[in-house]
Amino acid sequence: MAERTQADANDKHLPSPACPDVLDPAALKNLRQLAAGDVGLLTQLIDTFLEDAPQLLAEIRRAVEDEDAPALHRAAHTLKSNSAEFGATALSDLCRELETMAQANALDEAADRLAQAESESEKATGALKVMRYSL
């Protein structure tokens, strides 16, 4: 229980999500609880996401263009998981759709979902950058 109290106290030092529409507050609360006031860790996690997300999107684009279902499955799976960590629900949902398409090897609508994912990723990374610099 001490942990919870500490996490609540930490909320005072950590900013609220910059863009509530993009990042789900519940997921962010979880992250803060895990970090337990460790600003360095939060920064490291955000930086890792900001570095990896564009690479994963590029991997998804390449896989969609090459119709490489296994590669698409893995990259979409990872980005789905990472975006869910920060409460980027819209991006995570799109990645899940891409993952499912890859599993079913039905890539007809993949390019369309990819375009949406790229746009959602812009929003999520923007919100996370704001959050990172206000830590």
Q: Please report, as ranges, the residues that interact with other proteins according to CB under 8 A.
A: 3, 27, 30-31, 33-36, 38, 41, 44-45, 48-49, 52, 73-74, 77-78, 80-82, 84-85, 96
Show the tokens assigned to 65: 């263009």
State the nearest-atom distance from the C-beta of 133 to other proteins, in Å: 19
Alpha-carbon distance 20 to 84, whole Å? 14
Q: Give 74 or 123: the residue with its C-beta nearer to other proteins.
A: 74
Cβ 105 to other proteins shortest distance, Å: 16
DSSP string, 23-64: S-HHHHHHHHHHHTT-HHHHHHHHHHHHHHHHHHHHHHHHHH
User: Nearest distance from residue 123's CB to other proteins, in Å?
Assistant: 19
CB 41 within 8 A of CB 100: no
SS3 57: helix
Q: Which of 87, 106, 108, 84 is nearest to 95 (CA)?
A: 84
Query: d(Cα 2, Cα 8) in Å, to the nearest integer?
Result: 10
Q: Which is nearer to other proteins, 36 or 58 (CB)?
A: 36
Minimum CB distance to other proteins smaller for 29 or for 123: 29
Closest distance to other proteins from the beta carbon of 95 (Å): 10
Find the shortest distance in angstroms from Cβ 16 to other proteins: 19
Nearer to other proteins, 64 or 92 (CB): 92
The nearer residue to other proteins, 64 or 78, going by C-beta atoms, is: 78
